[in-house]
Amino acid sequence: MLKWKDEVGLTDNIDRETMLEMFIFETFQLLNDLEQSLLESEKKSDFDSSINEIFRIMHTIKGSSAMMLVENISSLTHSIEDLFFYLRDQKPKNYNLTDIIDIVLDGIDFIKEETSKLENNSKADGDASGLIKKIKDQLKNIKNMNAGNKLEKDFASSEKGNKSVAEDMDFGLGGTNQIPQDYKYEAILKFEDDCGMENIRAFSVIHDLEEIAKVESYYPKNVMDNDADCDAIRKDGFRIIFSTSLGLNEVKDRLSHTILLKNLEVCVVSDDLISAREYSKICSASQESGGHATKKIKEPVSTGNVQENVCSGIHGKVHGKSQKKEQARGKKDECISVRQSVISVNISKLDELMDMVGELVIAEAMVTKSPDLAGLQLRDFNKSAMHLNKITGELQDIVMSIRMVPLSMTFQKMKRIVRDMGKKLNKSVELEIIGEETEVDKNIIERISDPLIHLIRNSIDHGIEEVEERKAKGKPPVGKLVLEAKNAGGDVWVIVRDDGRGLKKERILKKAQKNGLIYKPEDELTDSEIYSFIFMPGFSTNEGVTEFSGRGVGMDIVTKNISMVGGTISVDSMPERGTTFVIRFPLTLAIINGMAVGVGESRFTIPTISIKESFRISNEMIIEDNKGNETIMVRGEAYPILRLHRFYNINTKVTDLKEGIAVMVENDSRVLCLFADQLLGEQQVVVKALPKYIKKVKGIGGCTLLADGSISLILNIADMINMKEAL
């Protein structure tokens, strides 16, 4: 039995940080899959379609957490695995599915919390004993309720029900289980290219097999002590020979759960001649064998000294072929093959790749549009330049697509939020997801997850009524919550819509008056402007404080997070018909569509998503109060104006409003007119962060290089509007 601390040790050549990073990533991925499987099972009211997936995930997390010495997680997942082993093998009829799901979801929350501690360089020291006791009690209750079933009786009398995962198994890295060793197998595992930590993954396979088998030998032998072993495993795979009582299909299933497995070969091996009857016994232990079994047999009839190979192929057919003993051992055609077509890449590497492609795009523009080429007849050069532009454009699209991630994972997480809130608030809510295949930049997904949670909690808590109230209003008893995503030009729209009671305009207006948020006569406020007050810090119309709302915290965080990814949010509502939130944001933060404007010798880029219109200003449009504040009347509405040259103290000859250009921008239904010298044109720009040695500048969200090599500062419209209102 290998022991991580005693026999293997954390040697200097092991990059524990890399191991931990991979463990954290894989655990979170598996927990998300597990959560969705549980919610799907609850929707279908049975575990029939998902129990194998649930069991596999628990088994994988158990093995990897034990390998990383996170004992509380490994113990908890082991107890959950025991529970689902019983449900899978005994198929009991009497049990409360919702109670089981509640317990496992609590377990998921615990594992997420402990994994987050590891992610933050803290110790995973949470106590799982209470959860483990609940799970064991639940398993005991299920057994008691199904004690009269024939399957249960058979289970109790059949070798203690496969103690490899049953609850009375001696679990741990130092266990001493006496495992029947009826059959000997040889397995060769090859991991995904560039997956890393091949020696650690090989050790995990050994550790996992020692729960159900006697490991006799493996190659390379020093999987944890020699860097060269990683290269050997990468090139030739990891070979392991072991004995167990499990059938071929069970062994195959066990090993195929290995994370980042590219190819798996499993063969039955023996140095002794056995009868065909004994061989068929091995195959019968695995009725759906998809593997290859190689075993020397002796036929019951006289065949001289001929030795034959008997293979179990894809369709379970048995065929023989005479060949020598050496050939019999080496032959492994039609072997089990498990392939994965996806690899995990650190997001920082994709960021670096995108930066380099951005530099390439800028360099290409600087070369092809160089002033030195003006007026020259360069037919061949222009032809080559067009070809280069095509290649760089395609390269940019490919890199962008690599960074793009579907919203499905984020959207699916919301099912858990809806379920838990519905139960706690005594509300029946159905979540409909539309357009989850829509893809956005990985960095944007990380930013919009929290805003979506806040919006959904707000819709369920404030909007959707309880069952009896909905019935009294003539509505369906089950509330409807729609989460939708769609592409609109170069932007993505995410819509959260409910069919609840809607926003109370009068209460919002009253609260806004109390907080001093109204900046113009109330009769001039549009419904959209009134509703947008709910995004202000400290704003809440809830009369009482609940677990989910009433403290005035949350909706302002939504606005802040969305503005950080260059997005905007708007809200619309109808009494007793429901409320709709619309979030708009760019596909990516790395490249945006922008309008370049000139102010003196300076250049600014305004994100196109924030622009409503641009226009020339006439005398009759200008209004100035006795304090010198300027506003512009556009179609009967007054909008504040911000002169960029004054705000950033830029020297320019264009100071008369009638000589420049006004660009009307919007954020969260708030509008501002920016005054600049001239429009320079719309273009795609590569967003660059300001260097760290430059102090943060108000209203600036980044910078970019234009085709002529000049630097353009990218305006943060949300900041600009906030600062104007504060003046």
Q: Is the peptide bond before 607 cis (omega within 30 degrees of 0)?
A: no
Tokens matching residue 627: 């304090």
Task: Provide the pLDDT for residue 171.
Answer: 32
Residue 73, pLDDT > 60, answer yes
CA distances in angstroms from 661 to 434, 683, 695, 714, listed in the order given: 41, 18, 29, 18
- pLDDT value at 299 more than 60: no
**Best-predicted range by mean pLDDT (387-401, 617-631, 641-655):** 641-655
Is residue 492 classed exposed, middle or buried when 0-12, 13-18 and 19+ CB atoms within 10 A define those classes? buried
Name the nearest CA neighbour of 449 among 407, 498, 487, 404.
407
Residues ≥6 apart with Cβ < 8 Å to 205: 189, 238, 240, 255, 258
pTM of the model: 0.62
Which is more confident, 472 or 247?
A: 472
Cβ 318 vs Cβ 334: under 8 Å: no
Hey, what are 328's tokens? Answer: 């019999």
| pLDDT tens digits, 477-504 | 999 999 999 987 667 899 999 999 998 8
**So what's the pLDDT on residue 149?**
63
3-state secondary structure 519-571: CCCHHHCCHHHHHHHHHCCCCCCCCCCCCCCCCCCCHHHHHHHHHHCCCEEEE
Tokens 């409909």 belong to residue:
432
CB 457 within 8 A of CB 421: yes
E-state strands within 93-222: 183-191, 214-219
Least confident among 209-223, 276-290, 531-545, 593-607? 276-290
Instruction: Report the C-alpha gap between 572 and 566 in whole angstroms.
Output: 21
Rounded to an integer, what distance in angstroms lies between the CA atom of residue 267 and that of residue 294?
A: 6
Both tokens assigned to 205:
């396979």
CATH architecture of 407-586: 2-Layer Sandwich (3.30)
- Choice between 91 and 429, residue whose per-residue pLDDT is larger: 429
Highest mean pLDDT: which range of 187-191, 195-199, 330-334, 494-498: 494-498
Q: Closest Cα partner for 197 from 240, 230, 236?
A: 230
Q: For the segment 668-679, what is each residue's pLDDT rounded down to a tens digit?
A: 678 899 999 999
CATH topology of domain 1-170: Four Helix Bundle (Hemerythrin (Met), subunit A) (1.20.120)
- How many Å is the maximal CA-CA distance in the chain? 117
Q: So what's the pLDDT on residue 154? A: 55
Chain segment 110-150, per-residue pLDDT in tens: 999 999 998 888 888 899 999 999 999 999 988 888 776 65
Which pLDDT tens digit goes with each residue over 450-467? 889 889 988 998 889 999
H-helix segments, 582-709: 644-647
Least confident of 85-89, 289-293, 613-617: 289-293
Q: Please write the tens of the pLDDT for every residue from 687-709.
A: 877 777 776 678 888 888 776 77
For 375, the 3-state DSSP assignment is coil
Degrees, nearest 5: CA angle 480-483-487: 145
> What fold, for 591-726?
OB fold (Dihydrolipoamide Acetyltransferase, E2P) (2.40.50)
The residue to which tokens 């001929």 are assigned: 306
230 or 297, which is more confident?
230
Report domain extents, the chain.
1-170, 179-344, 347-405, 407-586, 591-726
Superfamily of domain 347-405 in the CATH hierarchy: Histidine kinase  CheA-like, homodimeric domain (1.10.287.560)
Q: What is the token pair recorded at 364?
A: 């290409």
Per-residue pLDDT, 6 = 40
Tally of residues, the chain: 727
Residue 569, pLDDT > 50, answer yes
Mean pLDDT of the chain: 77
Of the CATH numbers 1.20.140.10, 3.30.70.360, 3.40.1180.10, 3.30.70.1110, which one belongs to the domain with range 179-344?
A: 3.30.70.1110
CA angle, corner 717, sides to 715 and 720, nearest 5? Answer: 90
Report pLDDT for 483. 95
**Rounded distance between C-alpha atoms, residue 444 and residue 213, angstroms:** 46
C-beta of residue 407 within 8 angstroms of C-beta of residue 439: yes
Q: How far apart are CA 211 and CA 193, in angstroms?
A: 28
Distance CA 442, CA 348 (A): 11
The H or E element that residue 454 is part of is: helix 442-458
List pLDDT tens digits, range 254-280: 888 777 788 888 888 754 434 334 444
> Given this model, what pLDDT does residue 701 score?
81
Would you call 391 helix, strand, or coil by DSSP? helix
Give φ, ψ of 593 to 5 degrees.
Answer: -85, 130
